[in-house]
Structure 1
Amino acid sequence: MEGKEEDVRLGANKFAERQPIGTSAQTDKDYREPPPAPLFDPGELHSWSFWRAGIAEFMATFIFLYIIISTIIGVVKSPNKCATVGFQGIAWACGGMIFVLVYCTAGISGGHINPAVTFGLLLARKLSLTRAVFYMIMQCLGAICGAGMVKWFQRHDFETLGGGINAVASGYSKLAGLGAEIVGTFVLVYTVLSATDAKRNARDSHVPILAPLPIGFAVFLVHLATIPITGTGINPARSLGAAIIYNRGNAWDDMWIFWVGPFIGATLATLYHQIVIRAIPFKTRA
């Protein structure tokens, strides 16, 4: 029995470059920490990769808005919700599309598709301020065009069934709506930072990890929790695009919640990941 335990111990630590599951973090680095992105890199503006990344963000957000608003209108239109995909279907549509779109665009732009995610990665110094602002503009434009496409195809239903806008539901306070957006975005950005962490990828390299999967699943779960409260924003571009194209009723009443909440949530998630999970401010370098 003692020999067997020794074999298990040696087997778990046979490869020094890999971290045994369930053990604490290694003290010696087995990965290369990427350098912080510069705040402003003039060379980016002359690079085709910079512009195609923005186009990729535009197209991804365009497709995302088209799919989810079409799904929402289909659910709201039916008098019998049991005959539609319901809230669960809306959540699956959002999470599934994020999974697909992050998978398709991660190698080009990083697959943000969300100004709050871009802002969180900016705070983590994963991209420059120039690129972050460009991404946010392209995401918002893509969202507007995606919502506009739905209105073009389904004008009557779009205008009579709410246009898929985000708003705090009756029975909930503005503070509850803000809190839901903060917590929901925290979950999303924390998942993004964890799934794309260079240290995690190196340490758990023996465990196959497909980053778009946990990101999409996080979006799905957040939608399940917050659709009854705010319709689930956690993406300022998504909320803005639907509001601009619908532009009536209460489209603008709660818009500040769907910008302030996600940006606060992204900030908190980044601080938590960088300070607690990565302990970057406390690291000493030889």
Structure 2
Amino acid sequence: MAKDIEVQGEHGGGEYSAKDYTDPPPAPLIDAEELTKWSLYRAAIAEFIATMLFLYVTVLTVIGYKHQSDPGASGADAACGGVGILGIAWAFGGMIFILVYCTAGISGGHINPAVTFGLFLARKVSLVRALLYMVAQCLGAICGVGLVKGFQKAYYVRYGGGANELSAGYSKGTGLAAEIIGTFVLVYTVFAATDPKRSARDSHVPVLAPLPIGFAVFMVHLATIPITGTGINPARSFGAAVIYNKDKAWDDQWMFWVGPFIGAAIAAAYHQYVLRASGAKAMGSFRSNA
């Protein structure tokens, strides 16, 4: 079990803390030297490929479900109804589990600009790396949805291209709140699953970090598919909007960026300054030095 141990000095004049885990040092805000390292570009390529595969499989699942459940479609089995919302949620959560598992050791397995943004705010990645990741993720998403359209153009256009849009009957405020809360759940899970303190404390429990992250995506999709189709990933929403290119998808696009970024920022602040008490530790260190 990981634990902080405070030991009183011989004459009560001091304390020190012993712990069996190590927090990595904060990433530099701007690390220009990273641009000269192949490891950065290799990580960006991994993010590109992972996001492309993520969009390819998940958007195909969405379109396949809509085709199978369309009673007017030729050859569609209306009685079956396709994989349903549960199947779509499993496709998104399962792909995140697979891809995070595959890329975590190379790029950290972000596959989502909101996750990258939250980790940047927590000083886990530099600004240079964060920006390059976001560009790679968005390009990968565009390519992934482009592959879907290339293979199934007729179905793609007919069934909405897997684009995220606010559903009828919901206000923009409700859609934005759904994206904020959903992304908070995801990014909070990312921080908790990758926390070095948790890794040390729960070292006897063989649980892979990608597993709870995938389950977080799965659960959020179950809750918010009826509201926004579930974005919680700006690259996913942007890639689908670029290829589908319809007014409704673009009109609602803002909430699939603003909501996830707000949710990621709240999750980063909550984990770093409340659960890990980084602010209190910094203040205590400042007072001790004074």
TM, length-normalised to structure 1: 0.90
Match of 1:241 among 239, 242, 247: 239
Match of 2:55 among 58, 65, 68: 65
- Does the CA-based 8 Å contact 2:4-2:19 persist in structure 1? no
- Unaligned 5+ segments in structure 2 are 7-17, 71-77
State yes or no: 1:40 paired with 2:63. no
Whole-Å separation in 2 of the counterparts to 1:176 and 1:186: 15
Whole-Å separation in 2 of the counterparts to 1:265 and 1:81: 39
Cα deviation, residue 169, structure 1: 0.4
Q: Deviations over 1:183-221 (max 9, x none)?
A: 000000000000000111112212222100000000000
Whole-Å separation in 2 of the counterparts to 1:81 and 1:190: 39
Cα deviation, residue 83, structure 1: 3.4
Percent identity over paired residues: 66
2:254 maps to what in 1? 256
Residue 242 of structure 1: SS of its match in structure 2? helix
User: Aligned residue pairs: how many?
Assistant: 265
What's the RMSD between the two structures over aligned residues?
Answer: 1.4
Whole-Å separation in 1 of the counterparts to 2:209 and 2:55: 22
1:269 maps to what in 2? 267
1:110 maps to what in 2? 108
Match of 2:188 among 180, 184, 190: 190
Q: Which moved more, 1:222-231 or 1:43-52?
A: 43-52
Whole-Å separation in 2 of the counterparts to 1:268 and 1:186: 7
Cα distance change of structure 1 residues 119 and 49 upon mapping to structure 2, 3 Å threshold: same
Residue 213 of structure 2: SS of its match in structure 1? helix
Q: Deviations over 1:127-174 (max 9, x none)?
A: 100000000000000000000000000001111110000011001100
After TM superposition, list the pairs within 5 Å mapping 1:16-95 onto structure 2. Answer: 18-19=1-2, 28-78=18-68, 79=70, 80=78, 82-95=80-93
Cα deviation, residue 249, structure 1: 4.1
2:10 maps to what in 1? none
- Unaligned 5+ segments in structure 1 are 1-17
2:73 maps to what in 1? none
State yes or no: 1:217 paired with 2:207. no
1:9 maps to what in 2? none
- Does the CA-based 8 Å contact 2:183-2:264 persist in structure 1? yes
Residue 109 of structure 1: SS of its match in structure 2? coil
Residue 235 of structure 2: SS of its match in structure 1? helix
Q: Which moved more, 1:24-33 or 1:183-192?
A: 24-33
- Does the CA-based 8 Å contact 1:75-1:81 persist in structure 2? no
2:171 maps to what in 1? 173
Cα deviation, residue 32, structure 1: 1.2
TM, length-normalised to structure 2: 0.89
Whole-Å separation in 1 of the counterparts to 2:193 and 2:279: 21
- Does the CA-based 8 Å contact 2:114-2:233 persist in structure 1? yes
Whole-Å separation in 2 of the counterparts to 1:251 and 1:33: 41
Structure 1 stretches of 4+ moved >4 Å: 24-27
